[in-house]
Amino acid sequence: MPSDIRVRFAPSPTGYLHIGGARTALFNWLFARHHGGKFVLRIEDTDIKRNTEEAMAAIYDGLQWLGLNWDEGPHVRGEFGPYLQSERTELYAKYLKKLQDTGHIFDDQGALRFRSPREHVIVDDIVCGKIDFDLSNPATHPDMTIRRPDGSWIFHFVNVIDDLEMKISHVIRGEDHLSNTPKHIEIIRALGATPPHYAHIPLILNRDGSKMSKRDEGARVEYYIRRGYLPAAVRNYLCLLGWSPKDNREKIDLDEIIRIFDLKNIGRSSATFDPDKLHWLNGEYARELSDSEFYGLAVAKLGSSGVNLDKFPETYVRAALQTCEGKINTFDELPAYCGFYFTDDLNYDPEAVTKQFTPENKPRLREVSDALRTLEQFDAAGIEATLKATAKKLGLKVGAIVHPTRLAVTGSNVGPSLYHLIEVLGKEKVLARIDHALATF
């Protein structure tokens, strides 16, 4: 396929970047990168009443977070700009006049409508195959408005004009636009132009089969940014919603996806969004982060969650966070997982308190405290040996004292390796926390 491939993502800045929109952008971007073509970002901001600067920023931020750099569009030079439809009105007027001069437009109470040729239109879609649309009946397919009485443009018209002017070779978009395509082809033919190739990708559904709407919590890209997901994991997962590498792989390097991406491997059936699978996949990516990458992301997430790390030496913070590497799937889990390192005001899990701080466990905790107090080399190896020796002395399995000890020093029954976290906390703090737990409960 020649390298004059040009695709576009054309969102409206009327809401946050939807996960379905991000998937559409990703498929366009992958197609362009696979063929050495151009990925164009075009903002369809003709709906002036609903457009917001906040939504515009969310589009830019979301795409940049996902690593979907555009070759032409806002903030990037290109020979087919401007890339905001609100700045292209003179161009639309020129094309309108061309249709008026050839008798394709009529006035309907101030609105301008396109006169349908009333024919069958065959859409030869790369994903959906050949589909015959019968537009001959005006009752079911009325003549399409292209400009409102107030002078504002309708999506169908400006969308087509921009695709022609920007020399878009392939229109890759959601399946919900498939029924619009024959109308777009009618306008293109009326202008004496050749339609681009079309590929309509399946919709993304929730697990219950409902359409993923903007009201759903996980429907916004911003949700994943805020929760501490990794863009590489989200991007990888979105690839698998409708497209398949044909070998059942789930974790695939981006360069490999670019190399094998093919529109012919996009399925026809709707894709089901599984938050649990994304959560798992994100954990796989998180476990591959370098120490410095993990540290940077962890510090940022803890800081944004209200944890003040400035009160602690950097060596302490680094040692604490190192015990969390490979243990979390998303960074929003981190404050609950390791917050005990950065506060002495522990919130003890009530259920765990009932289970672990029992009458028989309290004297065992005192034994643990006494044994740790005698340790001169307060490191993980020594702590492990001490707890095992204490358990043996009491005629118990080591788990019988590990769990109440963990609860006493962290407030939780889950977290990093106990021996390592005790080493990081240090003898003074650990003994104080065990004493506090014994006195409080």
Residues known to be catalytic: 214
C-alpha distances in Å from residue 405, one per residue of 337, 358, 364, 411, 414: 16, 12, 9, 10, 12
Q: Rounded to the nearest 5 degrees, what angle is found at the Cα of 226, between the Cα atoms of 220 and 232?
A: 80
**Pairing between strand 129-134 and 105-108?**
unpaired
C-alpha distances in Å from residue 312, one per residue of 308, 315, 343, 395, 408: 8, 8, 10, 39, 21
DSSP string for residues in 18-39: BHHHHHHHHHHHHHHHHHT-EE
Q: Strand ranges (DSSP E) for 263-374?
A: 271-272
**Pairing between strand 197-201 and 204-205?**
unpaired
| Helices first, then strands: H and E counts in the chain | 18, 11
d(CA 144, CA 133): 15
Whose structure tokens read 């994100």? 282
d(CA 394, CA 411): 24
Check if the beta carbon of residue 201 is closer than 8 Å to that of residue 269.
Answer: no
**Side-chain half-sphere exposure of 230, counting CA atoms within 13 A:** 22
Q: Give me the phi and psi of 40, to 5 degrees please.
A: -105, 135
DSSP string for residues in 125-160: ETTTEEEEEE---TTTSPPEEEE-TTSPBPHHHHHH
For the record, the structure tokens of 350 come out as: 């009530």
d(CA 346, CA 357): 15
CB atoms within 10 A of CB 248: 6
C-alpha distances in Å from residue 362, one per residue of 90, 346, 353, 428, 439: 81, 18, 11, 20, 10
CB atoms within 10 A of CB 242: 23
d(CA 243, CA 206): 17
d(CA 359, CA 89): 79
